[in-house]
Structure 1
């Protein structure tokens, strides 16, 4: 009786369903780590961009100039996107004659809420995949253990 517990030996001697389960778990792990590293990089960049925008916003600079800089540069993300949507709507509504100030404010706030929701969706993308893999993997592994 061979009592060797070498990992390679165990994998080679496993049945086909167990090998498939191990392959599935390895693939899910690699996919999850790829998502985690991508999200980490994206969130780090988003935090730096948010800090830069906040510094510019609260510096006392002209908001119209800030809007022009944001809208003429690269595609805005995060707080820049929310600011751009709100300021664009504010400027559009302000050009109309006899606009109620309350309606002007509500319109700008609505545009900002929509932009904020889109940014949240962009940041949260793929998190449901991580949650699914994290909750299913123990059961898939248990299935492989019971079968093997």
Structure 2
């Protein structure tokens, strides 16, 4: 009779709301929950920041391409772009033009040497822009892959506490373990809540970053060809 009363008290005083499950959880499970929630908040901050950044970067790329192919001279475009902080195609263009002008100011005689330096400058500029575009995406991948397992760890720990409760209560009644099991499963749910958006966002943002990096590489090839033609035209025959 006393055992049944104890079980009834456990069932009555167990709060199955979200806050109740959190506050009743073991310190380890709480730590897992808080870590996953923090990771989820940081993931959403990255998602919002990258979405705005990529939208702005695409707009700047489109604007620069219109200017570049508008017939404006390279010198005028260089003067305009070098006077403002630019990224993307504008940054690649300015880096290549700086090397181009430096080579002409030094009266570089080797066509092959100038061409090689221009290609290296373009590669470095593209690598710098690519790093900026892909920055913090690895965190999304990490949370997407590790989040469910971290939540599962909290679940396993909570279930261990549930079995401990069974042993202490000397009862296999579900009311004894309902609370700890619910707390344990709540940790897995938070892990999935953190991981699923992170995986979806990582795939989408990685695809967008890859497309923009492809545009950078395509522009670098076209611009390198243009400068190569000018080098051939100026080189002595």
Q: Does 1:81 align with 2:91?
A: yes
Aligned counterpart in structure 1 of residue 28 of structure 2, from 5, 9, 17: 17
Q: Distance in 2 between matches of 1:98 and 1:77?
A: 28
Q: Distance in 1 between matches of 2:107 and 2:59?
A: 39
Matched with 2:46 is 35
Q: Does 1:102 align with 2:146?
A: no
Aligned counterpart in structure 2 of residue 64 of structure 1, from 71, 75, 78: 75
Deviations 1:37-63 (A, max 9, x none): 111111111110000000000111101
The count of aligned residue pairs is: 147
Matched with 1:92 is 102
Residues 43 and 140 of structure 2 are in contact (CA less than 8 Å); yes or no, is this contact kept in structure 1? yes
**Can you give the 5+ residue segments of structure 1 that lack an aligned partner in the other structure?**
none
Q: C-alpha root-mean-square deviation of aligned residues, in Å?
A: 1.5
Q: Secondary structure at the match of 1:142?
A: helix
Q: Distance in 2 between matches of 1:94 and 1:54?
A: 25
Q: Distance in 2 between matches of 1:100 and 1:122?
A: 33
CA 98–44 in structure 1, closer or farther in 2 if over 3 Å, else same: closer
Matched with 2:128 is 118
Aligned counterpart in structure 2 of residue 135 of structure 1, from 140, 145, 166: 145
Q: Distance in 2 between matches of 1:60 and 1:104?
A: 25
Q: Does 1:147 align with 2:127?
A: no
Displacement, 1:22? 0.7
Residues 91 and 125 of structure 2 are in contact (CA less than 8 Å); yes or no, is this contact kept in structure 1? yes
Return structure 1 stretches of 4+ with deviation > 4 angstroms.
none
Q: Which moved more, 1:20-29 or 1:102-111?
A: 102-111
CA 98–86 in structure 1, closer or farther in 2 if over 3 Å, else same: closer
Residues 39 and 143 of structure 2 are in contact (CA less than 8 Å); yes or no, is this contact kept in structure 1? yes
Higher relative helix content: 2
Displacement, 1:4? 5.8
Residues 92 and 122 of structure 2 are in contact (CA less than 8 Å); yes or no, is this contact kept in structure 1? yes
Normalised by the length of structure 1, the TM-score is 0.92
Q: Distance in 2 between matches of 1:60 and 1:85?
A: 20
Structure with max Cα Rg: 2
